[in-house]
Amino acid sequence: MTDPVSRRGFFLNATAAGVAAGTLATPDANAAAASRMKWNREADVVVVGAGAMGITAAIAAREAGASVIVLEAQPHIGGHAITSGGNVPLGGGTSAQKKHDIKDSPDLLFRDLTDWSVVEPNGFPDYRYNDREIIRAFADHSAATYEWLVAHGVIFVDKAPDAAGGNAVGNSVPREMHAAVMNWPMVQTGQPADPAVQATLSSGNGLMRPLEAAAREAGVMILERHRMVSLHRQDTGRVIGVTVDNNGARLTVGARKAVVIATGGSTGNVNFRRMADPRLTEEYCGLAGMPWSDQDASGEIAAMAIGASLWGMYNQTGDFGYKVTKPGTIGNQYGYRNLHWMPGSPVFDRARAIGLPVHDWQNVITVNMIGKRFYDETGPAFTTNDYGSINPYTAGDYRNARDIAWKPNNWLNAAMAGIGDGHNGGGPIWAVFDADAVTREKWVTTPPHVDSAGGFFFTADTLADLARKVVMTHQRVPMPPQTLEATVARYNTFVESGTDDDFGKPKPLYKIATPPFHAAWATPVIHDTRFGLRINANCQVMDMNGQVIPGLYCGGESAGGFSEHGLARATCQGYIAGHHAVLG
Ligand SMILES: Cc1cc2nc3c(=O)[nH]c(=O)nc-3n(C[C@H](O)[C@H](O)[C@H](O)COP(=O)(O)OP(=O)(O)OC[C@H]3O[C@@H](n4cnc5c(N)ncnc54)[C@H](O)[C@@H]3O)c2cc1C
């Protein structure tokens, strides 16, 4: 691709070079250098990570004529993508949009995702820090990626695109499509979904299983339990391979043409994520998508070690989207709002509990490490502006902000504010409730619903005893029993008066008075990564001088410059990188 932001894209260039006819590009200096090394394995393209970006890139590269090895750290494929809701915001004029008479175009998609005038009800801008070059490439290849997914076996729910599920689809038109789970076994349960909903239930299983099948059928070699630990870069500057850890043994894998970093981000690495948000200390251990796969920043760190730059850190820092969110279940470590690990799941031994889904936050109070309330429990998580959220909306008009009601969603900020002792991080947050709340919510407060053994759920007959029992790794100071007693006593007076004088909870409804009392882990959950390696429009990784690192590609959550909930950008960047790595 000569012009990285060209609307014509790589296919025209590739065709001109004769590659579309199935011939490979002439072996270059990289291939020559790589051939001098002694590798345990070798391929034209080595993809690191078998998630949304990696599997897409692998198929694209293979079908462009390359031999491809995918290295996956886990004993299974899919990454966070397979645990996801399968809501895929690809637009720009997809066949699904056309079918439902939705007028979209690459220009409209680009304009939406770069509109600085769009802000959240809390004042944070969604799209201001998106990199124009990267968004242009996404907009230009978005519809093609959608058709490519369909051509590779992904079945989307047969309904009009909407804005439900994922987010950051832009204000002008609906773009979200939903991968139907069909009869693929779900990683959450180990079983296929109820046949009655298989064609209508949106799920990452319905995205990743067909893509895995397509990759294997195309001849992609997928090596599980192969965790990349470092990259090899030649004196010439080219990346020529990787070192992996395979069950404790070190192996090398050579890449004659390219290494693609598709490792899924960094939110599981405490020190790495704190570069973007110093608040995110160790206690935020309930990552969405874990324990199926980790986001340990290994791709970013390996690339930085050979000179790569980071990009777009504000997109991680800003208070919008799901990157940090309020838990949907309590009493378990992994409480992301719509991901419930069930006992049949292959990773249930690591998830340890299903969690208690909270239907009504009136049924609990949330307290910090020292037993104090900090905000109205019914307060929502951060939001993100989607199709139709600003109405009326005029693209690029800074008066858009005047049409957005100022409505800060501060439960998360208050939870992460800490206890005023000068430490970073908010510490554990506990949902405290009584036996009557258990009845109202129809909760079962024993394993496997709660994780008592892991220190994420406690029960006692008195509030004082409950406070004393709250001992676990992240509770770095004891909860004073008298503080918890005083907090509950004061809250009960608010229920009597009907007014929460401290935090304005709308008409507190239920006293906490009937033993036994419970404290359930309700600490904010980290969801997705929105900063990472600097890439250009071709998904080539850039160094600290703004120069391309030859032979190194990245996309998905390990790449920076793109603020959008993940599957669309991950698959589209996989599509771009996989083709460009082979066809140039
Ligand atoms: C519960 C949940 C729901 C979601 N719902 C949606 C949704 O509905 N819509 C949407 O758009 N997005 C959703 N997302 C986000 C979306 O799933 C991610 O943004 C997307 O999967 C990112 O793709 P990726 O390829 O970058 O990373 P992943 O899909 O996570 O893949 C990364 C892979 O790399 C592997 N890996 C990591 N390090 C190494 C290493 N060193 N060596 C080898 N392999 C390695 C990992 O094990 C993993 O398999 C959701 C995420 C979660 C967790």
**Residue the block writes with tokens 């949330």:** 366
Mutate to test the pocket of ligand 1, among 567, 572, 573 (most ligand atoms within 8 A of CB): 567
The tokens for 33 are 């250098």
- For residues 318-344, one letter each, b for 16 or more C-beta atoms within 10 angstroms of the residue's C-beta and e for the rest, the string is bbbbbbbbbbbbbbbbbbbbebbbeee
**Which helix (H) or strand (E) segment is 497 a member of?**
helix 481-497
Residue 205 in contact with ligand 1 by CB distance below 6 A: no
Residue 188 in contact with ligand 1 by CB distance below 6 A: no
**Predicted local distance difference test score (pLDDT) of residue 33:** 55
Please state, in angstroms and rounded to a whole number, the distance separating the CA atoms of residues 118 and 238. Answer: 40
Average pLDDT, the chain: 93
Ligand 1 atom at minimal distance to the Cα of residue 555 = 26
What residue type is 519 in one-letter code? A
Ligand 1 atom at minimal distance to the Cα of residue 288 = 53
Architecture of domain 327-378+430-521: Alpha-Beta Complex (3.90)
The tokens for 320 are 């919008």
What's the Cα-to-Cα distance from 178 to each of 157, 203, 219, rounded to whole Å? 6, 7, 27
Residue 263 in contact with ligand 1 by CB distance below 6 A: yes
Residue 165 in contact with ligand 1 by CB distance below 6 A: yes
**Predicted local distance difference test score (pLDDT) of residue 35:** 56
Residue 293 in contact with ligand 1 by CB distance below 6 A: yes
Please state, in angstroms and rounded to a whole number, the distance separating the CA atoms of residues 178 and 542. Answer: 33
The tokens for 500 are 């929460």
Bond from prior residue into 516 cis (ω within 30 degrees of 0): yes
Q: How far is the CA of 10 from the centre of ligand 1 (A)?
A: 26
**Which helix (H) or strand (E) segment is 99 a member of?**
helix 95-99
29-83+204-318+534-553+564-583: CATH topology is FAD/NAD(P)-binding domain (3.50.50)
Please state, in angstroms and rounded to a whole number, the distance separating the CA atoms of residues 236 and 248. Answer: 31
Mutate to test the pocket of ligand 1, among 80, 294, 325 (most ligand atoms within 8 A of CB): 80
Residue 291 in contact with ligand 1 by CB distance below 6 A: no
Q: How far is the CA of 123 from the centre of ligand 1 (A)?
A: 28
Q: How far is the CA of 528 from the centre of ligand 1 (A)?
A: 8
Taking only the tens place, the pLDDT of each residue in 348-381 is 999 999 999 999 999 999 999 999 999 999 999 9
Instruction: Please name which of 10, 9, 28, 4 lies closest in space to residue 64, comparing C-alpha atoms.
Output: 10
Ordered by start, the domain boundaries in the chain are 29-83+204-318+534-553+564-583, 87-177, 327-378+430-521
**Predicted local distance difference test score (pLDDT) of residue 18:** 30
- Positions in the chain whose pLDDT score sits under 70: 1-36
Please state, in angstroms and rounded to a whole number, the distance separating the CA atoms of residues 371 and 387. Answer: 40
The residue contributing the CA closest to ligand 1 atom 24 is 264
Please state, in angstroms and rounded to a whole number, the distance separating the CA atoms of residues 471 and 584. Answer: 56
**Predicted local distance difference test score (pLDDT) of residue 385:** 87
Residue 481 in contact with ligand 1 by CB distance below 6 A: no
Instruction: Please name which of 190, 215, 217 lies closest in space to residue 205, comparing C-alpha atoms.
Output: 190
Residue 339 in contact with ligand 1 by CB distance below 6 A: yes
Instruction: Please name which of 152, 134, 138 lies closest in space to residue 60, comparing C-alpha atoms.
Output: 152
Taking only the tens place, the pLDDT of each residue in 524-559 is 999 999 999 999 999 999 999 999 999 999 999 999
Please state, in angstroms and rounded to a whole number, the distance separating the CA atoms of residues 386 and 172. Answer: 9
* Contact of 368 with 415, CB cutoff 8 Å: yes
239 bridge partner residues: 233
Give me the DSSP letters along 261-274.
E----STT-HHHHT
Please state, in angstroms and rounded to a whole number, the distance separating the CA atoms of residues 334 and 349. Answer: 13
Residue 264 in contact with ligand 1 by CB distance below 6 A: yes
Q: How far is the CA of 306 from the centre of ligand 1 (A)?
A: 24
Instruction: Please name which of 208, 289, 311 lies closest in space to residue 532, comparing C-alpha atoms.
Output: 311
Look at the pTM and tell me if it is higher than 0.85: yes
Q: How far is the CA of 558 from the centre of ligand 1 (A)?
A: 9
* Contact of 275 with 313, CB cutoff 8 Å: yes
* Contact of 288 with 525, CB cutoff 8 Å: yes
Give me the DSSP letters along 230-290.
EEEE-TTS-EEEEEEEETTEEEEEEEEEEEEE----STT-HHHHTTT-TT--TT----TTT
Residue 84 in contact with ligand 1 by CB distance below 6 A: yes
What residue type is 38 in one-letter code? K
CA 76 to chain centre: 18
- The answer to whether 29-83+204-318+534-553+564-583 and 327-378+430-521 have equal CATH topology is no
**Predicted local distance difference test score (pLDDT) of residue 403:** 83
For the chain, the distance separating the N- and C-terminal CA atoms, rounded to the nearest angstrom, is 6
The residue contributing the CA closest to ligand 1 atom 29 is 51
Instruction: Please name which of 462, 466, 487, 461 lies closest in space to residue 478, comparing C-alpha atoms.
Output: 466
**Predicted local distance difference test score (pLDDT) of residue 32:** 56
